[in-house]
Chain A
Amino acid sequence: MNPLTNLSPRVRAWLGFGLGAVVLFAAAPALLTDFRLSLLAKYLCFAIVAVGIGLAWGRGGLLTLGQGVFFGLGGYAMAMHLKLADAGEGNMPDFMELYGQLDELPAWWAPFANPVFALAATVLLPMLVAFGLGSLVFRRRVRGAYFAILSQALAAAMVILLIGQQGTTGGTNGLTDIEGFFGYDLDDPVNQRMVYFIIAGVLLALLALTRQLMHSRYGELLVAVRDSEERVRFLGYNPANVKLVAYVVAAGMAGLAGALFVPAVGIISPALIGIVPSIEFVIGVAVGGRAALLGPVLGAVAVAWAKTALSERFPGTWTYLQGAMFVLVVAFLPGGLASLWGLLKRRREATPPAPEVGERVLVKEVAA
């Protein structure tokens, strides 16, 4: 018998958390080159998005196919501030002078010069948009499938909007050539490392937050809404609010991830927002296991890593593999790899484990 299984879930969580911290804060920086570490920073940003999707989709049954929008809102909010900071007080960002031929900074850019406003906006702006769309859609009981398609349409519309406003958003280019991060020079590898540590810290903090949410009464209610929304309604809850909370939290996480992506990679562009990247955010979650806490994180990192590694040598093969992952995992292993582990464990122990909410694989979905 594995001695770990004798520990209480809480102690195990604490141990896992410590292990994660050791891997992210000690092992990875020690073992990886600066370049690989910066790639890991990027993957961890995707993992943060995945944590939110895991909550909304895995636990809440909300297939959020528009996370790119929130990622982009957070990223643009951060990039706008950094561009303004690079340009210096009273100056306009370089691209605006190049393409926009504006006489002065547009009014909606101005508040982003304030770092506090910009930082708050990276999280609050996506949450606000999610709240708006979510309250419209959930309250009117739009069906799950409609919600998924509307999310995609939102992503497409957002891209078109951003690209169309080249003078003030940088168009297809997005916002590039970001030099500093709150006064620190991003060219310096030491500062790149700092960005990595911040991202890793945020990821761990959000994991703790999400674990708390999943194990709270709200987490149980969310699963109940996923499995039988109508029944929850007859118990006197408004499922729209329950879903809205998960959706808004997931949007906030995506926004934060987008904001951290900017200093890590140095660019935010519409290419990260549209339908395709939005669906790609989901694939890691599906592969890792949508309903588990760590599944989405590990899945997102693994898929992003595989993409980098494989596309270096076999660009066409990667597309096939990506497609095949969607097909095989979603159709035949809906609980993702996390459920595989559970299945193996169960087989070895040959007795059904004490059911603990959430670590179970879901096979049902809110169809209504």
Chain B
Amino acid sequence: MTVILGQLFTGVSIGAVLLLIALGLALTFGQMNVINMAHGEFIMAGAYTTYVLQQTITDAGLSLLVALPVAFAVAGAMGVLLEWALIRRLYTRPLDTLLVTWGVSLMLQQLARDIFGAPNVQTKAPDILTESTSLGADLSIANSRLFILGLVLLAVAALTAALKFTPLGRRIRAVVQNRDLAAVSGIPTARVDRLTFFIGSGLAGVAGVALTLLGPIGPTMGTNIIIDAFLVVVVGGIGQLKGSVIVAFVLGMLQAMVEYLTTLSVAKVIVFIAIVAFLQWRPQGLFTLRTRSLA
């Protein structure tokens, strides 16, 4: 029984990690329809930011807290640079964007290898985040996972609020729903695009900081998770955050349960099959914005 409960929480926390890495994509892919394969490398940049900060701020807890906003800014800036240099030329060619940003991700990985070396680097986590909270008998929950769950809930809440209540958020939604109309209504769509991209990429940086608590920090850390994150947004549907949120937790739970009964390999394959089957039922994802247009 305790194992099942533990596994339930594992599912939730896998979902939280998935959501954290997919949240930025829900903005850039979900809202702007840009397939940014370099998103994983922005996550990597966030993780390396934590590493670099720890070289100067030795206190593990403090450096982690400082790293969150700094990584947001670093990854966000990289995103803006990418948007300005390449992506804005490619808005009408989503598939080409995929290939171009794949090229960018290759170069960023090699850059990380040249700067930080090929081997993984380590960061020190604050002690409290390497321990676990006991919930009776044999059941305990890793503090790092709780931290990530809290972080992702906070991020979702902040993002939702920002989209709903701030002028910027309203502009973003206006551009998503009807770019031409937004443009003629005086909304500077190019600037809104860039800001959206900044926030989406910045969230990748935050995810990178959080991932230092769980996994390796190395040049290829982004590539291993990026496809899963894209699948979350694909299944969640375009244009709405709630789809990604629900799907991340459902997929996390599904993977945890299947993996518990079989193996991780089988779980991955079954999750993939489930996704293809789901898209048969709802080809546009869980939630979509319905608009009257040819496409």
CB contact between A145 and one of B98, B104, B105, B265 (< 8 Å): that residue: B98
The answer to whether A327 touches B272, judged by C-beta atoms less than 8 angstroms apart, is: no
CB contact between B92 and one of A136, A153, A367 (< 8 Å): that residue: A367
Chain A residue with the shortest CB-CB distance to B277: A136
Residues of A within 8 A of B275 (CB): 150, 153
The answer to whether B283 touches A142, judged by C-beta atoms less than 8 angstroms apart, is: yes
The answer to whether B35 touches A323, judged by C-beta atoms less than 8 angstroms apart, is: no
User: Quick check: is B263 within 8 A (CB to CB) of the other chain?
Assistant: yes
With both chains docked as a complex, state the minimum distance between the C-beta of B131 and any C-beta of chain A, in angstroms. Answer: 32
Q: Which of B90, B95, B107 gathers the greatest number of chain A CB atoms within 10 Å?
A: B95
Among residues 214 to 233 in chain B, which have CB atoms less than 8 Å away from a CB atom of chain A? 223, 227, 230-231
Q: Which of A279, A316, A330 gathers the greatest number of chain B CB atoms within 10 Å?
A: A330
The answer to whether A157 touches B230, judged by C-beta atoms less than 8 angstroms apart, is: no
**Chain B contact residues: over half helix, strand or loop, or mixed?**
helix
Residues of B within 8 A of A367 (CB): 92-94, 295
Mark B212-254 against chain A: 1 for CB-CB distance below 8 A, else 0: 0000000000010001001100100000000000000000000
The answer to whether A319 touches B94, judged by C-beta atoms less than 8 angstroms apart, is: no
The answer to whether B272 touches A326, judged by C-beta atoms less than 8 angstroms apart, is: no
Expressed in whole angstroms, the Cα–Cα distance for A313 and B114 within the complex equals 16
User: Quick check: is A146 within 8 A (CB to CB) of the other chain?
Assistant: yes
Chain A residue with the shortest CB-CB distance to B37: A279
User: Quick check: is B33 within 8 A (CB to CB) of the other chain?
Assistant: yes
The answer to whether B95 touches A148, judged by C-beta atoms less than 8 angstroms apart, is: yes
User: Quick check: is B113 within 8 A (CB to CB) of the other chain?
Assistant: yes
Residues of B within 8 A of A249 (CB): none
User: Quick check: is B269 within 8 A (CB to CB) of the other chain?
Assistant: yes
Chain A residue with the shortest CB-CB distance to B108: A323
Residues of B within 8 A of A140 (CB): 279-280, 283
The answer to whether B104 touches A150, judged by C-beta atoms less than 8 angstroms apart, is: no
Residues of B within 8 A of A63 (CB): 95, 98-99
The answer to whether B33 touches A330, judged by C-beta atoms less than 8 angstroms apart, is: no
CB contact between B294 and one of A143, A230, A279, A316 (< 8 Å): that residue: A230
The answer to whether A368 touches B294, judged by C-beta atoms less than 8 angstroms apart, is: yes
Mark B261-295 against chain A: 1 for CB-CB distance below 8 A, else 0: 00101101100110110011001100000000011
How many positions in chain A have a CB within 8 Å of any CB in the partner chain? Answer: 48
Mark A158-172 against chain B: 1 for CB-CB distance below 8 A, else 0: 001101100000000
Mark A291-334 against chain B: 1 for CB-CB distance below 8 A, else 0: 00000000000000000000000001001101111110011001
Expressed in whole angstroms, the Cα–Cα distance for A355 and B94 within the complex equals 27
With A136-B276, A326-B100, A365-B93: A149-B106 Cβ-Cβ less than 8 Å: no
The answer to whether A319 touches B110, judged by C-beta atoms less than 8 angstroms apart, is: yes
The answer to whether A330 touches B99, judged by C-beta atoms less than 8 angstroms apart, is: yes
The answer to whether A160 touches B268, judged by C-beta atoms less than 8 angstroms apart, is: yes
Chain B residue with the shortest CB-CB distance to A164: B265
Among residues 212 to 236 in chain A, which have CB atoms less than 8 Å away from a CB atom of chain B? 230
CB contact between B103 and one of A156, A164, A322 (< 8 Å): that residue: A322
User: Quick check: is A175 within 8 A (CB to CB) of the other chain?
Assistant: no
Residues of A within 8 A of B62 (CB): none
Q: Besides A149-B234, A323-B106, A365-B95, 18 other CB < 8 A contacts?
A: A133-B276, A136-B280, A137-B279, A144-B94, A153-B227, A153-B275, A230-B294, A230-B295, A282-B99, A316-B113, A319-B109, A320-B106, A320-B110, A323-B103, A326-B102, A327-B104, A331-B100, A367-B94
6 smallest beta-carbon distances between A and B, as pairs: A326-B103, A323-B106, A323-B107, A164-B265, A368-B295, A319-B110
14 contacts between A and B (CB under 8 A): A143-B284, A145-B94, A146-B234, A146-B279, A148-B95, A153-B227, A157-B268, A279-B102, A283-B99, A316-B113, A330-B99, A330-B103, A363-B93, A365-B96
